[in-house]
Amino acid sequence: MIAARARGRPEIEWANWKDARPAAAACPTGAISYQDENGRRTVRIDLAKCTFCGLCADVDEAIRMTSVCECATRRREDLETRAVYNLHPDGSHGGMISPPAHATPAQSESLEVLGQKIKERAKEMFGRSLHIRQVDAGSCNGCEMEIVSLNGPVYDIERFGIHFVASPRHADLLLVTGPVTRNMELALKRTYAAVPEPRLVVAVGACGCSGGIFGVNYATRGAVDAVIPVDVYIPGCPPNPWALLHGILLAMGRWPEKADRGRQERETAGAGADAFSPPRNGLPSGCARSKLAPGFRPV
Amino acid sequence: MTVSTALLPVLDDLNKRFKGRLDAVRAPRADEIYIHAQMDLVAGFTAHLCRRWQARLVSLFADDARAGEGAFHLFYVFALDAARGFVLLRVPVPPEKPEFASLTNAIPAVNWQEREIQDWFGLKLIGHPNPRRCALHDDWPEVYPLRKDFDLRTELPPFQGARHKFREVEGEGVFQVPVGPVHAGVIEPGHFLFSVAGEPVLYLQLRLFYTHKGTEKLFENLPLPHCVRLAESISGDSGFAHATAFCHAVERAADTEAPPRARFLRSICLELERLHNHLGDIGAICTDVAFVTVNMHCLRLKERVLRLNESLTGNRLLRGMACLGGVRFDFDAGQIQSLRQFAAALRPEFESVVQLIESSASTLDRLKGTGVLKPEVARDLGVSGIAGRASGLDRDLRRDFPHAAYEAVKIHVPLYQAGDVEHRMRVRIAEARESLSLLEQFAAKLPDGPTRVEVGEPPPGATALGWVEGWRGEIFHWIRAAPGGRLARCKVKDPSLQNWPALSEAILGNIIPDFPVVNKSFNLSYSGTDR
Measured between CA atoms, the residue of chain A closest to residue B315 is: A6
Measured between CA atoms, the residue of chain A closest to residue B223 is: A28
Number of CB atoms found within 10 A of residue B277's CB: 24
Helix B260-288 crosses helix B421-445 at what angle (to 10 degrees)? 150
Which amino acid, A80?
E
Q: What is the pLDDT of residue B266?
A: 95
Nearest to A166 among B184, B213, B527 (CB): B184
Q: What is the pLDDT of residue A106?
A: 55
pLDDT tier at A51 (50, 70, 90 boundaries)?
Answer: very high
What's the distance, CA B383 to chain centroid?
10
For residue A184, the distance in angstroms to the closest alpha carbon of chain B comes to: 6
Q: What is the pLDDT of residue A108?
A: 59
Give the pLDDT mean for B453-469.
Answer: 94
Best mutation target among A141, A173, A176, A185 (most B Cβ atoms within 10 Å) is A141
> Does pLDDT of A296 surpass 80?
no
Percent of chain A whose predicted confidence (pLDDT) is above 90: 41
> Does pLDDT of A259 surpass 80?
no
Q: What is the pLDDT of residue A1?
A: 54
List of chain A residues whose C-beta atoms are within 8 Å of the C-beta of residue B319: 51, 53, 142, 237-238
CATH architecture of B8-126: 2-Layer Sandwich (3.30)
Backbone angles phi, psi at B38, to 5 degrees: -100, 165
How far is the C-alpha of B429 from the C-alpha of A275, rounded, in Å? 53
CB atoms B229 and A207 under 8 Å: no
> Does pLDDT of B175 surpass 80?
yes
8 A C-beta contact, residue B255 and residue A163: no
Q: In sequence order, what E strands does B37-101 have?
A: 56-65, 71-80, 85-93, 99-101
> Does pLDDT of B66 surpass 80?
yes
Which amino acid, B339?
L
pLDDT tier at A50 (50, 70, 90 boundaries)?
Answer: very high
Q: What is the pLDDT of residue A270?
A: 47
> Does pLDDT of A277 surpass 50?
no
List pLDDT tens digits, range A25-49. 999 999 999 998 888 889 999 999 9
Report the mean per-residue pLDDT for chain A: 81
- Within chain B, which residue ranges are assigned CATH 1.10.645.10? 215-530
> Does pLDDT of B378 surpass 60?
yes
List pLDDT tens digits, range B42-54. 999 999 999 999 9
How far is the C-alpha of A186 from the C-alpha of A190, rounded, in Å? 6
Q: What is the pLDDT of residue A297?
A: 37
Best mutation target among B211, B287, B329 (most A Cβ atoms within 10 Å) is B211
List of chain B residues whose C-beta atoms are within 8 Å of the C-beta of residue A111: none
pLDDT tier at A77 (50, 70, 90 boundaries)?
Answer: confident
- Between B162 and B261, the more confident residue is B261
CB atoms B300 and A154 under 8 Å: yes
- Between A106 and B310, the more confident residue is B310
Distances (CA, A) of B498 to A139, B279, B353, B383, B472: 20, 23, 31, 6, 11
For residue B369, the distance in angstroms to the closest alpha carbon of chain A comes to: 28
Report the mean per-residue pLDDT for chain B: 92
Give the pLDDT mean for B87-112.
Answer: 93
Backbone angles phi, psi at B262, to 5 degrees: -65, -40
Nearest to A218 among B137, B156, B313 (CB): B156
Give the pLDDT mean for B31-59.
Answer: 92
pLDDT tier at A267 (50, 70, 90 boundaries)?
Answer: low
Q: Which of A129-143, B159-173, B227-241, B324-338 has the lowest mean pLDDT?
A: B159-173
Distances (CA, A) of A29 to A166, A234, A290, B436: 33, 16, 41, 35
- The CATH code for residues B215-530 is 1.10.645.10
Q: Is the peptide bond before A238 cis (omega within 30 degrees of 0)?
A: yes
CB atoms B153 and A217 under 8 Å: yes
Best mutation target among A132, A139, A140, A146 (most B Cβ atoms within 10 Å) is A140
8 A C-beta contact, residue B485 and residue B456: no
Q: In 3D, which of B429, B110, B481, B442 has the Cα closest to residue B285? A: B429
pLDDT tier at A161 (50, 70, 90 boundaries)?
Answer: confident
Q: Up-side HSE of residue A97: CA atoms within 13 Å toward CB?
A: 11
8 A C-beta contact, residue A232 and residue A73: yes
- Within chain B, which residue ranges are assigned CATH 3.30.460.80? 8-126
pLDDT tier at A266 (50, 70, 90 boundaries)?
Answer: low
Structural domains for chain A? 10-71+79-98 (3.30.70), 111-268 (3.40.50.12280)
Distances (CA, A) of A95 to A16, A22, A36, A103: 9, 18, 14, 21
Q: In 3D, which of B228, B217, B249, B242 has the Cα closest to residue B63? A: B217
